[in-house]
């Protein structure tokens, strides 16, 4: 049986528009999220949902914790399991873990193993992966013959193959580790236009688009038992015939 994952990323929930980023409509993020949750539960029925960071726009704002809890309440309406990871806008990872619960080392869904990563930030809105987390990927493979799916906020991409300005300082090492572990799919957020899917050394790499920017997109991903990946982009924008 294939695994279906809905990927929501970069809500940038806020109480007012961000004048520095006018295309970022975080003031609508809770409404968009609830619309996505309703669509997923009623019509699409994924096996799992991944919320991949930048849940709020200003993690150090006095109201940030309340906004994070609003997102938790919306996500809890899902009928399927979900995993939520913090991004660079979400403030303290420890506070995020208190609100959403700490991500497991990995978890299994329908014969697939999902491996989440919360990685240290680096200058330029990049990230790095610690050795213990590279080792955790190998541990996730031990004794498990099914497909592995990696989840993180910052895209893991081969240098020079995309216009994305963000990456990991040790991306080559991560890509090598994923290939050696037989990872089928790596899913990220952070890069608002989205990127991929593209294939590198047998691993499909995907950066989901931002939910907060028009036309308010998310990714629908299907992974077959043999690791073959099909990605669709869905939009929450109203059809033209209704937007009057």
pLDDT reading at 238 higher than 70:
no
Name the band, by pLDDT with cuts 50, 70 and 90, for residue 239: low
First to last CA, the chain: 41
Mean pLDDT to the nearest integer, 145-166: 96
pLDDT reading at 243 higher than 60:
no
**Residue ranges per structural domain of the chain:** 3-235
Name the band, by pLDDT with cuts 50, 70 and 90, for residue 237: confident
Q: State the pTM of this model.
A: 0.95
Name the band, by pLDDT with cuts 50, 70 and 90, for residue 223: very high
CATH superfamily of 3-235: Metallo-dependent phosphatases (3.60.21.10)
Give the tens place of pLDDT for each residue, 192-212: 999 999 999 999 999 999 999
d(Cα 27, Cα 5) in Å, to the nearest integer? Answer: 26
d(Cα 175, Cα 157) in Å, to the nearest integer? Answer: 8
> What pLDDT, on a 0 to 100 scale, did the predictor assign at position 140?
97
Residue partners of 42: CB distance under 8 A and separation at least 6: none
Mean pLDDT to the nearest integer, 134-149: 96
pLDDT reading at 45 higher than 60:
yes
Structure tokens given for 158: 């081969």
> What pLDDT, on a 0 to 100 scale, did the predictor assign at position 1?
86
* Cα distances (Å, whole numbers) of residue 192 to 122, 137, 212: 18, 26, 9
Taking all residues of the chain, what is their mean pLDDT, rounded to a whole number? 95
Per the CB < 8 A criterion, the answer to whether 190 and 125 are in contact is yes
Mean pLDDT to the nearest integer, 89-100: 96
> What pLDDT, on a 0 to 100 scale, did the predictor assign at position 242?
46
- Residue 154's closest CA among 194, 188, 202, 199? 188
Mean pLDDT to the nearest integer, 55-65: 95
């Amino acid at each position: 049986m294939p695994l279906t994952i809905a990927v929501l990323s970069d809500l940038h929930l806020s109480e007012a528009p961000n004048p520095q980023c006018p295309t970022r409509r975080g003031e609508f993020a809770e409404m968009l999220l609830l619309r996505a949750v309703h669509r997923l539960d009623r019509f699409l029925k994924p096996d799992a949902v991944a919320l991949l960071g930048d849940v709020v726009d200003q993690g150090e704002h006095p109201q940030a914790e309340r906004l994070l809890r609003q997102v938790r309440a919306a996500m809890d309406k899902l009928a399927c399991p979900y995993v939520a990871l913090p991004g660079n806008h979400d403030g303290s990872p420890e506070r995020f873990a208190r609100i959403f619960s700490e991500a497991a080392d990995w978890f299994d869904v329908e014969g697939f193993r999902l491996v989440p990563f919360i990685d240290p930030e680096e200058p330029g809105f990049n990230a790095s992966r610690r050795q213990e987390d590279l080792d955790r990927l190998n541990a996730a493979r031990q004794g498990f013959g099914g497909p592995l799916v990696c989840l993180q906020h910052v895209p893991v991409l081969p240098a020079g193959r995309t216009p994305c300005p963000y990456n990991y300082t040790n991306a080559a090492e991560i890509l090598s580790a994923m290939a050696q572990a037989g990872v089928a799919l790596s899913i990220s957020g952070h890069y608002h236009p989205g990127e991929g899917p593209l294939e590198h050394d047998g691993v499909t790499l995907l950066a989901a688009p931002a939910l907060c920017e028009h036309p308010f997109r998310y990714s629908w991903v299907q992974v077959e038992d043999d690791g073959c990946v099909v990605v669709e982009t869905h939009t929450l924008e109203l059809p033209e015939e209704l937007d009057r």
